[in-house]
Amino acid sequence: MMKNYTVKELHEKLVAKEITPSAIIKDSIAKLKKYQILNATVTELETFATNLAAQLDNVPILPSDFLAGIPYVAKDNFATKGILTTASSKILSNFVPTYESTVTELLKKQHAILVAKSALDELGMGGHGLYSYTGDVLNPWDLTRITGGSSSGSAALVASGVVPFALGTDTGDSIRKPASYCGIVGFKPSYGLISRFGVIPYAPSLDTVGYFTRSVVDSAIILDYLAKNDHQDATSLTSLEKDYYQNITTDLKGKKFAYFPFAHNQLSAELKTTFNKLFTKLQEHGVEICEATFPEELLKALLPVYMIISYAEAISTHSALDGINFGLRVSGETYEDVMINSRVSGFGRVVKRRYAIGSYALSKDNQTLLFLKAKRVRRLIVDELTKIFANYDILLLPSATTVAPKITGVKAHTLTESDLEFYFDDLLVLANMMGNPSITVPLTLIDGLPIGVNINAKPFADQIVLNASLLIEEITGLKNLVAPGGEENE
């Protein structure tokens, strides 16, 4: 099989005619079959991808055509015209869209080649990759461990070398946590920077389209193509930044990087030492390392606020998944019976539980007590983040406190009062509350397993997030990591 190249490296070989699109796609399909054990795909598109590649074989690839002939996978909540789109839910197991999401349409115009639709936690609900109706998605570094979710399939396929990039969505940490567990780059750009049109929503005020790569430079390249204003998306915004790839640099002298001492102190001794070494290296590059504070009462409220808002929005946005308007239809004597039977059969237990909580929060008696109060607390959280970004250029966070947990341990775990009191591993949700850019890059390997660091900046400061990530990538030397079993890059 071919070595695992980045987007940039594959592009350079295509321009130099050292390789053809068909050869790249043939290799990607072979790796897709090799890694079927990961259970990372819902739909594989061998014939579709092979035909597109053949059409490109005799077309010159220009130096500016970075994505032409490059294989990718899309999380299965991106609508693809004429291609099954299930969001990994039984309720949509027969849904074939008649329209295309803006993001996949943009990639199609650039002649990037979709090779598969990847598995996710059902309808984007879940942080482990264990809640797809097609089964658990396994971590390519260790098949007994989780990939993280909800963008689990996309993360696993990039980490195993099947494709150099993959689309995902991030509502809480759904791209950045799997990136940490899988040793790859996971980027959640600023809210509104990439269109959500054609993406099956979970919680629209939190959902952000992003992607996985194995290098920071690739992330900058892809953002240049996807950061487009879209009149079909009411939340789409135009950034004042442009040419992310051309402007990427590691020169960050004089910039202020902040971290939370309370988060740092709760890390394991090994991970704390790794972060301290990173801080020292950053200082050697002219970066100022600063301590930042955040009100403890708001940190304790972070997970409950996220739960109330996201679950309430989910029950609203999914109201048409009823077996009548959309989705699997199970017969009944009345239309109410059809809806009840279809939903009982079509949704998994995690989704049903979140719908129940969301409905409770939106009920007449609880809207003021729960939903409206959660939105007010969200505003307080955003206000505190605004203060931080007024004083510091970058906020560094641990992407996770540990390497990927064992699947058996996660399945045995039940939420406890202490989890709700301080859900430390959910600090990444802060970026969804505010909508600021946030990226995870590999930090180190612990016992042969990856763990990442998370980099944040103020909304629409995506360029400095990419720059800081590139500097950290150069410091750690962990670029283009491939999970054991994949062919190592030259």
Please determine, for residue 460, whether its predicted confidence score (pLDDT) is greater than 70: yes
Is 458 known to be catalytic? no
Q: Can you tell me the distance from the alpha carbon of 324 to that of 287, in angstroms, rounded to the nearest whole number?
A: 57
User: In this structure, are residues 306 and 369 in contact, taking their beta carbons and an 8 Å threshold?
Assistant: no
Alpha helices (H) in 110-247, listed in sequence order: 152-159, 176-182, 216-226
Q: Can you tell me the distance from the alpha carbon of 285 to that of 188, in angstroms, rounded to the nearest whole number?
A: 25
Is 150 known to be catalytic? yes
Q: What does the block give as tokens for 440?
A: 């995870």
pLDDT band at 418 (very low <50, low <70, confident <90, very high): very low
**What are the pLDDT digits (tens) for 113-143?**
999 999 999 999 989 999 999 999 999 999 9
pLDDT band at 426 (very low <50, low <70, confident <90, very high): confident
The arithmetic mean of pLDDT across residues 68-87, rounded, is: 98
pTM: 0.96
Burial class (CB in 10 A: 0-12, 13-18, 19+), 448: exposed
CA angle 426-77-459, nearest 5°?
Answer: 50
**What are the pLDDT digits (tens) for 24-61?**
999 999 999 999 999 999 999 999 999 999 999 999 99
Catalytic residue among 75, 177, 255, 458: 75
Catalytic residue among 22, 89, 150, 190: 150
**What are the pLDDT digits (tens) for 337-377?**
999 999 999 999 999 999 999 999 999 999 999 999 999 99
pLDDT band at 486 (very low <50, low <70, confident <90, very high): low
% of the chain at pLDDT higher than 90: 91
Q: From the CB of residue 240, how many other CB atoms can be counted at a distance below 10 Å?
A: 5
User: What burial letters (b/e) apply to 270-305, b meaning 16+ CB within 10 Å?
Assistant: ebeebbeebbeebeeeebebeebebeeebbebbbbb
Catalytic residue among 28, 174, 190, 195: 174
Structural domains of the chain, with CATH: 7-254+436-476 (3.90.1300.10)
Q: Can you tell me the distance from the alpha carbon of 158 to that of 284, in angstroms, rounded to the nearest whole number?
A: 32
Q: What is the residue-wise DSSP string for 406-472?
A: BHHHHHH----HHHHH--GGGTTHHHHHHT--EEEEEEEEETTEEEEEEEE-STT-HHHHHHHHHHH
CA dist 97 → 114, 266, 324, 368 (Å): 16, 46, 16, 37
